[in-house]
Structure 1
Amino acid sequence: MSLMPKLSTILLLSASLMAATDAEVVSFLKKGIGGNPNISNLQIDVAGKQNLSGVSGWQTYFITIEADVKQGNDVRHINQNATYFVNGNTIAPEFVNIKTGERYNDIVAPDFNNAYYTKANRISGDANAPHKVAVFSDPLCPFCRKYVPDALAYMEKYPKTFAVYYYHFPLAGLHPASVALTKAAIAIDQNGTDNAVLGLYKVDINPNERDEQKILDAFNKTFGTKVTVADIRRPSVVKQFEFDQKVAQSMMVAGTPTVFFDGQKDPSKNKYKEIKVK
């Protein structure tokens, strides 16, 4: 569930901040979202901000939002990221270049945190390679299946040029089967299997499958392994899985594949092709 559509309307109609401070931005957003009687335990924080490149006077605010949302008789905990643009007394939930149609929400992102370049996430290349590439992907995402295997295989050939870091980001709402698949890949990776990530993109399974055993059967058929439900639930696997989700949230990742090249979000996803390899 997204809290953004209703809030977006509120912002467009009533943005009225004077030279806003971080506290004023947070307070304004809380009033907009918290006005919904179905929302409780609302927490909003500024995760980071940066000047909006090429647009004078505007700053990008990266916001994290947590809340409990009542839906009928159920209460769901929501943890979301959002991007806003602030200039003096104006705040907007979306910024679009009217000449190019480019949506800035899809381009801007915080600088990649060096602490997230971990040994566990590095799947190829030397840690000291001059170029670091971070890839967030769902193995059942159709575009990921076209892009990721070729990109990873290419960069793997040049370990002195590219250090590649991979973060599992299954889109559970769209491809529920990807959750168990990614956990299975983490499990065999921790057991010493090479190229666990690339093999993920060869698993033949209905993306809507929810039966963990059926998903693991397809996974094991592809890898020749015997991963069990107990394996994907072991603490070390869950810890790595949750770490990848934490990194994705911190970096404002919303879709797949998302690529960061040398610490900056790469909307083209192809900057690696511009590098002279060695």
Structure 2
Amino acid sequence: MSALIRLLAAVTFVVAAAGCASTGGDEPPRVVVTTNILGDVTKAVVGDAAEVTVLMKPDADPHSFGVSAKEAAAIETADLIVYNGLGLEEGVLRNVETAKRAGVPALAVGEGVNPIRFAATGDETAGQPDPHFWTDPGRMAKAVDLIAEQVVAHAEGIDAAAVRAGAAAYRAKVGELDAWVGQQVATIPSASRRLVTNHHVFGYFAQRYGFEVVGAVIPSGTTLASPSASDLKSLKDAIDRTGVKAIFADSSQPDRLAQVLASEAGVDVKVVPLFSESLSSRSPGAATYLDMVRSNTTAMVSGLTGR
């Protein structure tokens, strides 16, 4: 009898162990994404093939948001980290670097889309790579492919065919968006394609669609900087010289400085809100990346043409 009991116990242990292994294998791959813009794109690419955790909440500032202890742990145990890179996520980069040193695969998307550099902005970002590549849908189409490739490479057991199909479908939508933006921009007279923003965020957009960036209220690539009196005077002079009709302020940032500058400029300059660095819970607006670009384009056309 004792031999039979030992045999049954051994069989029970083997079955239980097999059951535990099976349960662990059924867990989907985990992808952690830092910013909500890249989070939206990643979800569109992978669909249900992986569990996607997005750290940055809607309407947050990518330059200053941070993570909780639970979110930090999620970063360190991910199958893949997708982050913007190029110095954008100042409050999260330490966590990402820690996870990378521990062997977690990570994709710095901005590094793979042929980044441009900030012009002479007057602060420490001058000459540094510009992280705001998402304002150029052409570069975002490249980002879609990068994300799909890395998910397939590092998410063990994922349905690679489904991910590649999702990437192809979403890339087509981004291509349609790019064409639509070009059509809308074409309705703005060439002499009116000049931008003044809260900080330097639309360099890629300007390059792709033929705009001149006249200046920024905060002459920096980050919202964490502050303008000086001489910065405001220089921008005022540029506005007077070029006849800019609108200042475009980030919807997630107070536009007080832009309002003050518009008043000081002594010209009829509107302050137009844009969704430049974050998706938004406000409606209508920027619930998705595609929505955000469409909303911004419509606002720019209206602000620069008076329509």
TM, length-normalised to structure 1:
0.27
From the two aligned structures, give the one with the greater strand fraction. 1
Based on CA coordinates, which of the two structures has the bigger radius of gyration? 2
